[in-house]
Structure 1
Amino acid sequence: MNANLKHVCVKAFLAVAFCACTAKVQAADIKVMSDSPLEPALTKVVDLYRQQSHNKVGLVFDPSPAVKKRIEDGESADVVIVQPDFAEALTKSGKVSAGDRPIIGHVGVGLGNRKDSPAYDISTVEKFKSTLLGADLLVFNSVKSGEAFAGVLERLGIAGTLKSKIVRTTPLGIFEPVLKGKGNDMAAGTIPLIATTPGIKLLGPLPAQFQSSLTYTAVLMAKTSQRDAAEGFIKFLVSREAKAAFAANGAS
C-alpha cells in the first residue's frame, strides 16, 4: 500500500470512529414514569420520539398516586407525567423541578363490555342510564376517574339501585371481573385503556354532561442526570406531531 493510499485509509477510519463515538455521546437514555391511562397513547408518541432523536426511553406506568409514592420512596427518573395535583405535591416536596408544567393531554372516561356482549348505544343520557340499569356487574376503580364515575351514578339517581352490582378495584383491575363474567358485565374507565384491552370493546365515552377528563402534565425530576435530553423530550410531547399521535390514541 503506497503512502497516499495508507493516509486516506487512516483518515477514513478515524472519521468513521469519530462519527460512531459522537453518536454514542449524543444518544441519551432517559426514564419516564407515567400515569397508567396514558400508556396506549404515550407508547406511540415515544416510538416517534425514538425515531427522531435516537435516544432511548424507558417507560414505567402506574396510577398517579402510585407514581407519587414510588418517587417519594426514593425511586429515580428523568421525566414524570401525572395529574397536576400530584405534580404540585412532588414540586412542594422538592422531587421535581418547579419550572414549566406543560399540559400534554386529556383522557376521557368511557364504558366498555366484553367483545361478545351487545354493543349498547350510550350516546344520550336516557340510553346511558338504561344501559347501566341493565348491567349485571358494573366495575370501576377507586381513584380519581372512579370517584368521578361514582358521582355520575349519584347524579343519575341510580347509585342505590346499582349498589349490589358495583365492584371497585385498582385502575388496572377493572377488566378482569368483566372478562371472567358470564352476564351483562361492564367496566367504566379511561377510554384508551378500554379501547386497547384485549377482549374488551369500547361502547363509547360518557355523555358530554357527565364526562370528566383527566389532565396530564409533564415535569422534570429535580435530580435528573439527563437534563438536556429530558427537557427535549418534554418539548417533543407538546409538538404538533406528538399531539396528533396522542389524539389518534385517545388522549386529546
Structure 2
Amino acid sequence: MKKLSGNVVASTLGLAIILLWLTNAQAAELRVLAGGAMTTIWGELKPKFEHASGHKLIVRFGTTPELIKLATTGGPFDLGVVPREVFKDAAAQAQFVAGPTTDIARVGLGIAVRSGASKPDISTPDALKQTLLMAESVATIPASAAGAQVLRAFERLGIGEAMKAKIRAQPGPAKVVEAVANGDAEVGVFLINVLTAPGLDVVGPFPGDLQQDVVFTAALSTDTKETAVAQALITYLKTPEAAAIIKAKGMMP
C-alpha cells in the first residue's frame, strides 16, 4: 500500500475517514434521513464524502412529520441528521441509539419577498406584526419543525388567528420558494437559508427574541450495521470543510 502524503492526511475529511477508507476494502452503502432544509448542503457534502471515503450515501429528505414516519415505518436506515423535534416523538426516538446526539447545523427564521418587490419593515416585533397583517398571503410549511416555530411566533405577536386565512401551506422547502417566486404568496416565512434562493429577495431574519433556531442533529439508527461508516460521516460533518459548506449555504455549524 502506498504511503499517504502529509497533504492527503490533512485533507478535507480528516484522519478518521482516511483510515476508514484504507481499512475497508468493500464499499458500504449508508442510508441517511435528513431534514429537507439541508438539501442544498447535502448536494455538496455527499459527493465529497463519497469521493474521499469510497462509501455511498443514500439520502432521504423530509419535513419533521415525514422524517418521523420514515424513521418508524419507512424501512431500515443507518443515520439521521434531523431537526431535534424528531426526537420528541417517542416512537421515532426509539429508532435511534440512546445517548447524546451531535448537533450539525442550526438556522433561524426569516422573511422573503418576490425578487424586485418592495421590502417591508420587519426591524422590530411590532413592525413584523404589521407587515404580516398587511400581507395578503404567506407561504410556509406548518407541518415542519420550522413551520411550527413560525406559528408560535404568530401567536406571540398576537396574530395567530388572523394569520390562519393568509397561510398558503406548502409541502416542502422548494415549494415555499416557488410559491413566492411565482406570486402565489406575497411573502415567504421560513428558515432563512431556504429563502436565500433565486427568484426571492430576503427581507431579513426575525427580530429580537422572536428568533428561534431550528437545530439539526445527528444520531445513529439502532439497526445500523454500518456503525463505523456512520460515525465517520458524523466526524466529517464536524470538519472545517463541512462547516464552511454549511455556512456558505446560510446555516451555522
TM-score in terms of structure 2 length: 0.77
- For residue 97 of structure 1, give the secondary structure of its aligned residue in structure 2: coil
| Deviation by residue 1:17-66 (Cα, 9 ceiling, x = unmatched) | xxxxx898253332211011122223333343234323322221111221
User: 218-227 or 79-88: which moved more?
Assistant: 79-88
Tell me the percent identity: 26
Closer, same or farther in 2 for the Cα pair 1:233/1:129, shift >3 Å?
same
Structure 2 equivalent of residue 124 of structure 1: 124
Larger-gyration structure (1/2): 1
Q: How many residues get paired? A: 228
Matches of 2:54 and 2:121, distance apart in 1 = 44
Matches of 2:42 and 2:29, distance apart in 1 = 17
Tell me how far 1:150 sits from its aligned partner.
2.1
Write out the 4+ residue segments of structure 1 that deviate beyond 4 Å after TM superposition.
160-163
Determine which structure has the larger helix proportion and give its number.
1
Letter in 2 for 1:77: F
Counterpart contact for 2:135–2:187, Cα < 8 Å: yes
Matches of 1:23 and 1:147, distance apart in 2 = 44
Structure 2 equivalent of residue 210 of structure 1: 210
Counterpart contact for 2:71–2:92, Cα < 8 Å: no
User: 239-248 or 82-91: which moved more?
Assistant: 82-91
Tell me how far 1:97 sits from its aligned partner.
1.8
Matches within 5 A, 1:154-193: 154-172=155-173, 173-181=175-183, 185-193=186-194
Closer, same or farther in 2 for the Cα pair 1:192/1:92, shift >3 Å?
closer
Counterpart contact for 2:32–2:78, Cα < 8 Å: yes
Closer, same or farther in 2 for the Cα pair 1:237/1:178, shift >3 Å?
same
- For residue 250 of structure 2, give the secondary structure of its aligned residue in structure 1: coil
Tell me how far 1:90 sits from its aligned partner.
5.2
Tell me how far 1:106 sits from its aligned partner.
0.8
Structure 2: segments with no counterpart, 5+ residues? 1-21
Matches of 2:123 and 2:210, distance apart in 1 = 11
Structure 2 equivalent of residue 112 of structure 1: 112
Residue 150 in 1 paired to residue 151 in 2? yes
Matches of 2:61 and 2:170, distance apart in 1 = 17
Counterpart contact for 1:30–1:58, Cα < 8 Å: yes
Counterpart contact for 2:135–2:186, Cα < 8 Å: yes
Tell me how far 1:153 sits from its aligned partner.
2.3
Residue 194 in 1 paired to residue 195 in 2? yes
Matches of 2:151 and 2:111, distance apart in 1 = 13
TM-score in terms of structure 1 length: 0.78
- Note the aligned Cα RMSD (angstroms): 2.7
Letter in 1 for 2:183: G
Matches of 1:92 and 1:153, distance apart in 2 = 29
